[in-house]
Copies of this chain bind each other. A is one copy, B any other.
Amino acid sequence: MSKKLWQTKSGLHPLVEAYTTSDISADQMLLPYDVQASSAHASMLCKIGVITKDEEQDLQKAFDQILALYNKGEFVLTPAQEDCHTAIEQYITEHFGQVGKKIHTGRSRNDQVLVMMRLYMKDQVSEIQQKIKQLITVFEDVSKKYQNIAMPGYTHMQRAMPTTVGIFFDSYKQALSDLTLLIPGLLDYIDQNPLGSAAGFGINHLKLDRQETTELLDLARVQSNPLYCAMSRGFFEGTILSVLGQSMILSSRFSVDMMLFTTQEFSFFSLGDEYVTGSSIMPQKKNYDLFEVMRGNSKLFFGYESQIRDIILGLGSGYHRDLGLTKTPFVQAIDLIQSTLDLLLEVVPQLQINKVNLQKSMTKELFVTDEVYKKVAQGEPFRDAYLEVKESFFKE
């Protein structure tokens, strides 16, 4: 059992330990962000005279070593370490002695986690923004490529009026484009530095230079009110998922379309063998698992989102341990967005358009409304034209 940062003598009951220890897989991934923030913290501590120049150099050396090991896959957290923060501090103390006991000066695990997550968020939101822009281009390309291919338009899942494959793909392009309008505000929202807020009350007797770490971390501003920093744990995570989650709704709706349009009965679209899967019992099957998983992943996503939201929703201000439970679902939800966008970027250009079936499906009922509007164009009131055409359609 590794010693906790706050621990002195008596151990924690093993059941309580097991119950309150988080899953470390998220921390394993997040570690470089903690190193980045800790490095900025060390520079600042040196600048304000809390540690010496030599101590700072030792710390930076330690961070470099940790990152080098990490990148080789050799800095692996153990469950006993509880989180990446403990693992880093232990490494420093073990390899560089006393200075390891100083790196936590002027911060709490609360703001340490906050700033690590903030850097992660900023990275992820930017990356997702880029992928959405790429996907817009992908949908634009297929939309242009198939702009003249007729396709039945459906309402209520019944054939309604004619449309085109181009318009169909363009509708997703438009939806994604509009979504990008929300992202700059979101990036602006999260672009602030919580480091220095400590446990939500700042630090007395030390003159932390929060502007310094803000610049070193390339963040836009100090998140000044320390209680607000504490309140933003989980809250910022939730806001990000609320906004970006709209892309999961779109991918889900696209997958529902694809599942329908790839049935034998519709057969409008298909994918090559390397994209489809088989059955362990039925030799003939070609299954579109990828779209089914996409459809299901949107539900997983909103489950994670609700976990985060429901955790913070019932809490007053200040730090609560429950907030720590938001880390894993946030990382899982972000991963779902990323992998879903990656898959769409790969797959949408590969969709094969089955022109023969599309053409066969352009049946006459799709053109009935046109009949109404031909009459309207000749001056007949809409309601009368509608009723006449209706009567004649059902008479046939």
Chain B residues positioned under 8 Å from A171 (CB to CB): 225, 227-228, 230-231, 317
Contact between B377 and A206, CB atoms less than 8 A apart: yes
User: Which residues of chain A from 217 to 259 have a CB within 8 Å of any chain B CB?
Assistant: 223-228, 230-232, 235, 238-239, 242-243, 245-246, 249, 252-254, 256-257, 259
A15 to B277 alpha-carbon distance, docked (Å)? 13
Residues of A245-303 contacting chain B, CB below 8 A? 245-246, 249, 252-254, 256-257, 259-260, 262-266, 273-275, 277-290, 292-300, 302-303
Cβ–Cβ < 8 Å partners of A340 in chain B = 19
- Residue numbers in B under 8 Å from A252 (CB-CB): 313-314
Which single member of B18, B162, B206, B391 contacts A339 (CB below 8 Å)?
B18
Residue contact B168 to A227, C-beta cutoff 8 Å: yes
Among B104, B223, B286, B386, the residue within 8 A (CB) of A382 is B104
Contact residues, A101-153 vs B (CB, 8 A): 101-102, 104-110, 153
- The residue from B18, B178, B296, B383 contacting A321, defined by CB atoms under 8 A apart: B296
Query: Out of B8, B182, B227, B232, which one reaches A153, CB within 8 Å?
Result: B227
Decide yes or no whether A312 CB sits under 8 A from chain B.
Answer: yes
Task: Report the interface size class on chain A.
Answer: 35 or more
Residue from B20, B262, B374 in contact with A277 in the complex, judged by beta carbons closer than 8 Å: B20
Distance in angstroms between the alpha carbons of A38 and B85 in the assembled complex = 45
Interface residues of A in 315-367 (CB under 8 A from B): 315-325, 329, 339-340, 342-343, 346-347, 361, 363, 365
With A7-B278, A296-B325, A303-B303 known to touch, is A200 a contact of B310 (CB < 8 Å)? no
The CA-CA distance from A227 to B243 in the complex, in Å, is 22
* Segment of A26-34, A57-65, A67-75, A183-191 in the binding face: A183-191
**Residues in A12-62 with C-beta less than 8 Å from chain B:** 12-13, 15-16, 18-20, 50
**Set B224, B230, B286, B297: member contacting A325, Cβ < 8 A:** B297
B158 touches A293 (CB 8 A): no
Query: Contact between A393 and B156 (Cβ–Cβ < 8 Å)?
Result: no
Q: How many copies does the complex hold?
A: 4
Q: Tell me the complex Cα distance, A257–B318, Å.
A: 10
- Asked whether, in the complex, the Cβ of B391 is within 8 Å of the Cβ of A8, the reply is yes
Determine whether the beta carbon of B290 is less than 8 Å from that of A342: no
**CB neighbours of A389 from chain B (8 A):** 283
Contact B377 A19 (CB under 8 A): no
A343 with B387, Cβ < 8 A, contacts A184-B185, A287-B321 known: no
Q: State whether B300 touches A346 (Cβ < 8 A).
A: no
Cβ of A81 < 8 Å from any Cβ of B? Answer: no
Contact B296 A343 (CB under 8 A): no
